[in-house]
Amino acid sequence: MLDFTVIVPTFRRPRPLERCLAALAAQRFARDRYHVVVVDDSNEGALRSLVAGFEHQLDIELCEHAHAGPAAARNLGARRSRARLLAFTDDDCEPDPGWLEALFLRLNGHQDRAVGGRTVPAISDGPFSNLAQRLVEYVSTAPPGGHRAPRFLPSNNLALPRELFLSVEGFNERFELPAGEDREISSRITAAGARLVFAAEATVQHRHTLGLGDFLKVNYRYGRGACLLRDRSRSRGGEQPRLEPASFYLDLILSPLVSGHSERPLQDVLLMTMSQLATAAGYLRQGVPSGIDDLRHQLRSLRGD
């Protein structure tokens, strides 16, 4: 019986995907206990020979569909699952050999939890990649008021029972960009009464080379995702995500000065400040059209249209 289906969404990144699949083939987990589904979000047929080259190392299949974003790709992969547990990673990630084993030990026998592992930059000399990963870790796992439970589990290192995934209806496919969909599904998992668990021993190397422009674009996208998350909560009548207190963002911006992990703390403080401005710009960019639509709807209601 299969324990895991590992789902890897990909979009026009064959070389990183090849490294990801090589890492999955090197897992210490027994080969007959996991199945890999690669979901090509470009539907261009360019990955068939690459995936076929791993058939002697992995129980693997390729799904192709028209471009709809990573949330839709992950859902398609989950529908193809033959296992009781689902694990998600991305095409630019390389799970350590003990990744699946660590996730299994945390999940086995627990139908009421989702587990997220630790993600580290694969390129240690990239300042923007390191900062981007530090931001994700801070926002997802920093303890407000001493509470250690993660706020959300990033989707590039996530595992949960298939039944739990189906019960919350998977990823929200309205999130066409790779931003916010992990926060959104995490909120539905906890609303369903399940726990979010952080497993530092389940490590993934994230090979995500960024320049300054890419770094700002990533944070701009995070802002758009946060606004979509707010709008979705509003449309379903649920509790809307609350802004953290100003001290949270101040601590984030100043974290390079106090963490002891930064070689250029003043430069990193400046970059953290720029990241939050980019996030705010993305939030406003996504929110202005939504606000205009709300205003139009209210005006039509007043006119009786």
Q: What is the pLDDT along the chain (305 residues), one digit of tens a residue?
A: 799 999 999 999 999 999 999 999 999 999 999 999 999 999 888 999 999 999 999 999 999 989 999 999 999 999 999 899 999 999 999 999 999 999 999 999 999 999 999 998 886 656 777 777 777 777 776 544 444 678 889 999 999 999 999 999 999 988 766 667 888 899 999 999 999 999 999 999 998 777 888 778 877 877 776 676 666 655 554 455 556 677 777 888 888 888 777 778 888 888 888 888 888 888 788 776 554 454 444 445 445 55
240 and 280 fall within a common domain: yes
53 and 147 fall within a common domain: yes
172 and 267 fall within a common domain: no
192 and 151 fall within a common domain: yes
119 and 263 fall within a common domain: no
CA distance 125 to 154: 23
pLDDT of residue 294: 47
pLDDT of residue 135: 77
| Total structural domains within the chain | 2
Domain membership of residue 97 (yes or no) is yes
* Residue that is last in its domain, among 176, 210, 244: 210
Crossing angle between the packed helical segments 127-141 and 246-259, to the nearest 10 degrees: 130
* Residue that is last in its domain, among 210, 237, 259: 210
8 and 134 fall within a common domain: yes
State phi, psi for 43 to the nearest 5 degrees.
Answer: 55, 40
* Residue that is last in its domain, among 182, 210, 238: 210
158 and 304 fall within a common domain: no
Instruction: Determine if the pTM surpasses 0.95.
Output: no
13 and 123 fall within a common domain: yes
Domain membership of residue 215 (yes or no) is no
51 and 141 fall within a common domain: yes
Looking at residue 209, the DSSP 8-state letter turns out to be: -
Domain membership of residue 174 (yes or no) is yes
For 188, the enclosing helix (H) or strand (E) is helix 181-191
91: CB partners within 8 A, 6+ apart:
8, 9, 10, 11, 13, 16, 17, 20
Domain membership of residue 78 (yes or no) is yes
| Residue range(s) defining the domain that contains residue 254 | 220-305
Domain membership of residue 287 (yes or no) is yes
